[in-house]
Amino acid sequence: MGYKVVVAGATGNVGREMLNILAEREFPIDEIVALASRKSQGTECSYGDKTLKTLDLDRFDFAGWDIALFASGSEATRKYAPIAARAGCVVIDNSSLYRYDPDVPLIVPEVNPDAVMGYAKKNIIANPNCSTAQMVVALKPLHDRARIRRVVVATYQSVSGSGKEAMDELWLQTKGMYVPGQEVAPKVFPKQIAFNVIPHIDVFMEDGATREEWKMVAETKKIVDPKIKVHATCVRVPVFVGHSEAVNIEFEDPLEAEEAREILRESPGVLVVDKHEPGGYITPIECVGEYATYVSRIRTDPTVENGLSLWVVSDNLRKGAALNAVQIGELLGRRVLKKG
């Protein structure tokens, strides 16, 4: 006996990826439905070798369904997630709406799987921000060994993190640079994204940080350890898919680069590609479509006591969003629902 699964927001980048990954990982499903807004009702979505036509989220009855993967944004989630939860369907939400709610577990299955038992307070589980998810997969095994004191991270985040319109803007701006008369002014982004980098993701806050940077701080503390100090600079780069991060870590205890490399090689969800030669590292274009979080450029930082630097790369539509949500569903099934 398998699960009855709902994918809400199925026509977006993340929703389509959720359907792909559910099929790829052979998630035990008896019945599946794709939901979207009324204007997208009837849109076709692929699920393995099947084609699903989306139903209207506003009219859907969640009673009798086991798991709902939400990729519909905060506004729709605010309205429909509580409806699903009250109907007995466990919501796994990809938006930021519930991440900071103390009664909602925020989960990366390789990092804090035991937190899944807290789902019952609201029948909702939160999926972390894409940039946080890949970072904490790399941080947790090192934290268990040497206790992390402080993390300074600079992200290089792909445009797919802002959705299909952002990907279109990069493509059209790039083409417009070479075709007179087809220049495209910034619309999704505050400045030109083609051949440029923008140190601004989400809104600015009073202290000068952006909300994306604040998310990385708050979520790392909630998922890994509230004592860890985190400082982030989040940058949008002209890459379609795949987030990269330069992560600098200060530990309480000594940890040599070679030991860190061996720890990460044995850690769930991590693949180490770290050769000291040209091309001996992973770049975002190589991680697209992959499940792993890749770690390269592992080296000692001699400017601080017990310091290491890492280069961390992952497919943000997968581990940063859809894959992590499906893994939470698998975890929920093993620990709680126990079907399939």
Catalytic residue IDs: 130, 243
CA distances to 12, 69, 75 from 93, rounded to whole Å, are 14, 6, 12
Tokens of 39: 């204007």
Exposed e or buried b per residue across 196-235, where buried means at least 16 C-beta atoms within 10 angstroms of its C-beta? eebebbbeeeeeebbebbbbbbbbbebbbbeebebebbbe
Q: What is the DSSP letter of 333?
A: I
Tokens of 336: 């709680």
Q: Where are the alpha helices (DSSP H) in 40-185?
A: 73-86, 130-146, 164-176
Tokens of 86: 């009250």
Alpha-carbon span 132 to 130, nearest angstrom: 5
Tokens of 310: 């890492």
Q: What is the DSSP letter of 335?
A: I
CA distances to 84, 147, 303, 304, 308 from 252, rounded to whole Å, are 44, 5, 15, 11, 12
Strand segments (E) across the chain? 3-8, 29-36, 44-47, 50-53, 55-56, 67-70, 90-93, 124-126, 148-157, 229-236, 243-251, 270-272, 293-301, 307-314
Alpha-carbon span 298 to 8, nearest angstrom: 39
Alpha-carbon span 338 to 10, nearest angstrom: 25
